[in-house]
Amino acid sequence: MNTQNPNEEICCPPFDPANWDKKTIEWYNKPFIKDKVSTFLYMPIGFGKVMKRLDEKVRAANAAMPDYLCLSEHTSSWNMNLFLAVDKEIPNAENITLSGKFFSKVYEGPFQNTGKWTKDFEAEVKKEGHTTKKMYMWYTTCPKCAKKYGKNYVVLLGELEN
């Protein structure tokens, strides 16, 4: 179902879940820039402001954001790290790289299902014969674009231990 009004601006590109659902991905020094978002009981506060700040740094460096991939790592109920994929080093940003083997699975629905998705994801990883070191979430579109597209896709990625 596409509820997009042609007169409304789209800030997030369409997402194709087939490219990320139940996939094993290997990264070797994949470049990202890192920032943080405050959360209240895991709900982000000022997420858009942080994303705008990251976007401005990427644009100023004439860089690209491959797949518009932005991983969220909940470190506590009060903090979340963000990792925005980039195609080159970005000045005035915390540049990092991620390496390893990752398993991804796509979910669709309201954010309130995150707890269910996390349990299902862990079961899926175990079924594949793996365990995870870290788990990341990729909110593929902002809430406005999710409403316009009629789908709210979230990708869970687990860094695999074995």
Domain residue limits, the chain: 20-160
Q: What is the pLDDT of residue 3?
A: 38
Q: Report the candidate in 92, 89, 80, 96 with the shortest Cα–Cα distance to residue 34.
A: 96
Which tokens hold the place of 71?
Answer: 């991983």
Q: What is the pLDDT of residue 54?
A: 95
| Distances 38 to 11, 118, 141, 142 between C-alpha atoms, Å | 23, 21, 19, 17
Domain 20-160 belongs in CATH node 3.20.80.10: yes
Q: What is the pLDDT of residue 111?
A: 85
Task: Tell me, rounded to whole angstroms, the distance of Cα 107 from its chain centroid.
Answer: 12
Q: What is the pLDDT of residue 1?
A: 36
**pTM higher than 0.75:** yes
CA distance 20 to 105: 6
Asked if residues 88 and 31 have their Cβ atoms less than 8 Å apart, the reply is yes
**Residue 86 burial (C-beta neighbours within 10 Å; 0-12, 13-18, 19+):** buried
The letter for the amino acid at 49 is: K
* pLDDT tens, N- to C-terminus, the chain (162 residues): 333 444 556 688 899 999 999 999 999 999 999 999 998 888 888 888 999 999 999 999 999 999 999 999 999 889 999 999 999 999 999 999 999 999 999 999 998 898 899 999 999 999 989 999 999 999 999 888 899 999 999 999 999 996
Pairing relation of β-strands 153-160 and 23-40?
Answer: unpaired
Q: What is the pLDDT of residue 2?
A: 38
Q: What is the pLDDT of residue 142?
A: 86
Q: What is the pLDDT of residue 41?
A: 81
